A and B are shown apart, each in its own frame.
Chain A
Amino acid sequence: MVEEAVEAKNQAVNKSLKEIVVETKNLEKIYDGKVHAVRGVNFELFDGEVLGFLGPNGAGKTTTISILLGIIQKTKGDFSIYGKDINDYKTIRELIGYTPQELVFYDFLTVQENAELFADCYQIQNKKARINELFDLFQLTELKRRRAEKLSGGQKRRLNLVLGMLHSPKILFLDEPSAGMDPQSRHILWENIERLSKKEGISIILTTHLMEVADRLCDRILIIDYGKIIAQGTPDELKTTYGAEELIELIMDESLDAKLNDSFIVDLRKEFSKITFHENKIKIFTKNGASLIPDIIEIAVKLDVTDYIKSLQLRGSTLEDVFIGLTGKALRE
């Protein structure tokens, strides 16, 4: 039933969008004949679209991207980029840019030297202008004479991103591009990626663990787990289709005795079927949240934990709720 619903959504989305620039058909990757990293992945990326890959660590996101980049060989299935298959790799590589989740550049070179090297590697004609443009955009101009090893974590991330965009790719693969960045740097980074992708008409495949970023930036999202796409659609569609209608979130005081806390959760579980507990947050997914709040209070009073409830909130579900609901795992960076 779920698969049929996903397929129907896909078709609806596909109709409203433009040219297909990346297409995969039953893509599979099995390592050493044992580890099934990607299992029959099918998706399309449309021209100018930002497509998010969400999934827990080890779900197969990076493997899928690596197959498309030609870094890893597929075991089965097919894919095409702008209608070209992997045999036409020379054409493909000029169209794609890649920012890996690791910081991939030469530590001993300066920021400018790194950019010039990779610009030469792509044989960019007007490299100085392009480097300056990206340095200005990602605030690296002041740092261009500094050795890469001396940059802060956020500055290194920005350099990592710039190196993948130097040759003005048509498709950009961003694999956790903001991992380890502080909120301010992350904000600048995403704002600029959004601006540049619109200005240059870049289609983006993005993997991230940041739900709010995916929600804001992605036109469509694929949720991957155990190498399979388990859900896809626009953020709103996913929330509507897979999210609970309402969510009751309780934040418990950290001074609450662990045993008492466990008893509280056990009693809640007797009443409500879908509960998650992470750190000091209890989330209850339900269809009629407002009517159930007195029941929750009653249980709290019975166990004498009302003083330990820091907050109780009733809200609509988020992408993270959808994700947790589907995968049963909390996302982590």
Chain B
Amino acid sequence: MSKIKLFYSLLKTNILSITRNKTAFFFTIIFPLCFVGVFGFAFQWSDPITSSKTIGIISYDTGIDESVIAFWNTSIVNQTFYSEEYIRVLDTVLFPESNVTIFDVHVFNQSEHEDAQELLESRNIMALVTLPENFSTGVLAAFRSKFGDDPILTAATGNWSGYPSSDFKTVLLVEGDSTLQDFTVTGTIIDKITQYFFNFGESPVEGVIIDVYGSLLTSGFTVFDFVLPGLIVYAILNNLGSTTDIALSDIERGTLKRLRLSKVTPPMYVFSILASQMVIAFIQIPITFATALLFGFPFSIQILYAFLPAIFLSLATSGMGFIFAGVVRNASAGRGLAAITATPIALISGAFFVIPNPTVIPNILGNSVGLFDLLGAAPAIRIFRGLLLHGNTLSNHLFDLILLIVLSALFLALGLFLYSRKHFKPE
């Protein structure tokens, strides 16, 4: 019990070191809010993104065998190529309360694949969707997976023996330049429509509009909406300075020596700093989000999911803070280094806009890892964007979450090694 009390006292002291220090308070709390205010003021009243995105589609769909679908007695019995219906949906989806279609769809023949690629590279089309040979089979498999061996359907259709297994999967390829914000938006909408299509919505066109666009935003999509998740990550990245400051000020002030003469152990001391940074991150998320709401950012309950990645982003940031504290000569050098590092990290991680991120690991668990992903902030930004803009859950970002956890563990291990080697051993 007294150990908990001791830990709580250290935690409280570390938090007060930020909230009672004007500079630290400004950089961790006020500064990110200023960013939200500036972006919100500058962009929130700009027009929503309502111009159609030009996309290309090439279909290699070979359709489905008549003998298989003959068991199905609905109106789509004669519709052999489900890809045609899919393309029709993409072509007719509208922006909400608008007659403007989201996509301007160009269908290419299989022989025109190279032309389509050239148009993609020249950015005349924003995304290129390639439908595989087994696309229609995949649709039927999804149908069986969703409805199962329903007894009524079974009675109506005879039996399900000719259907593809419900485990069968078909893979659509959506290509584009992932460094472009437009592709990020386009790709997400295509993904949502595809999910909806394979989920057999009752009213595809209307439903897709509500489902996809409604989950993005309720009243249009602006640059501010795109930037906000990055700003939350930027706020947490600013804690880099406070971790470095606490860890080094305790040495300069002599308080670490005094604490170490008491019953405070090095792990307890370090964990109290990490925990204080998590608490600060937990304060930053709701106040940044609440400020964004004032500037018209649509409320999303998905913000609750953001606390989990925030823990690991906070740990990764604290890890970096300990690395700085373990290598610099004094607290002012540490503070300076942290101050000039947080913003560039946010920038190259894509907090404000997406920038090119050269691939360093092409394929790990079916995902690629970019150079700037290794700083920890980029996966967090993708998760936050997915949660707040696209209405995703954490399961949609499992790879990024795992990457963030691994990176936070690595930063922490290195930071604590350097810090303890320099400051915990007797001189």
Binding site for B on A (CB under 8 A): 66, 69-73, 93-94, 96, 98, 100, 102, 104-109, 113, 116-118, 120-123, 163, 167
| CB <8 Å contact, A109 and B13 | yes
Interface pick from B158-166, B236-244, B260-268, B305-313: B260-268
Please list 24 pairs of residues, one from A and one from B, whose beta carbons are closer than 8 Å in the complex, sorted by A's number.
A69-B261, A71-B260, A72-B426, A72-B427, A73-B426, A73-B427, A93-B261, A93-B262, A93-B263, A104-B254, A104-B255, A105-B255, A106-B13, A106-B17, A113-B16, A116-B9, A117-B10, A118-B262, A120-B8, A120-B9, A121-B10, A121-B264, A123-B263, A167-B262
Out of B8, B255, B261, B264, name the residue touching A98 (CB < 8 Å): B261
| CB <8 Å contact, B426 and A102 | no
Q: Does B258 contact A (CB under 8 A)?
A: yes
**B262: A residues at CB distance < 8 A:** 93, 118, 121-122, 167
**A66: B residues at CB distance < 8 A:** 427
State the CA gap A120–B2 with chains docked (Å): 8
Binding site for A on B (CB under 8 A): 2-3, 5-6, 8-10, 13, 16-17, 20-21, 253-255, 257-264, 426-427
**B260: A residues at CB distance < 8 A:** 71
**B13: A residues at CB distance < 8 A:** 106, 109, 113, 117
**B427: A residues at CB distance < 8 A:** 66, 71-73
Out of B16, B254, B263, B426, name the residue touching A100 (CB < 8 Å): B254
State the CA gap A106–B19 with chains docked (Å): 14
| CB <8 Å contact, B255 and A108 | no
Q: Known: A93-B261, A104-B253. Contact between A123 and B17, CB under 8 A?
A: no
Closest to B269 in A: A121
**B261: A residues at CB distance < 8 A:** 69-71, 93, 96, 98
Among B3, B17, B258, B261, the one with the most A-chain Cβ atoms within 10 Å of its Cβ is B261
**A69: B residues at CB distance < 8 A:** 261
**A72: B residues at CB distance < 8 A:** 426-427
State the CA gap A176–B259 with chains docked (Å): 20
**B259: A residues at CB distance < 8 A:** 121
**B9: A residues at CB distance < 8 A:** 116-117, 120-121
The distance from the CB of A136 to the nearest CB of chain B, in whole angstroms, is 23
**A117: B residues at CB distance < 8 A:** 9-10, 13
Closest to A93 in B: B261
| CB <8 Å contact, B258 and A104 | yes
State the CA gap A145–B6 with chains docked (Å): 21
Closest to B264 in A: A121
| CB <8 Å contact, A70 and B426 | yes
| CB <8 Å contact, B21 and A108 | yes
| CB <8 Å contact, B254 and A121 | no
| CB <8 Å contact, B426 and A108 | no
**A104: B residues at CB distance < 8 A:** 253-255, 257-258
Out of B254, B255, B263, name the residue touching A122 (CB < 8 Å): B263
Among B13, B262, B264, the one with the most A-chain Cβ atoms within 10 Å of its Cβ is B262
State the CA gap A123–B426 with chains docked (Å): 23
**A70: B residues at CB distance < 8 A:** 261, 426
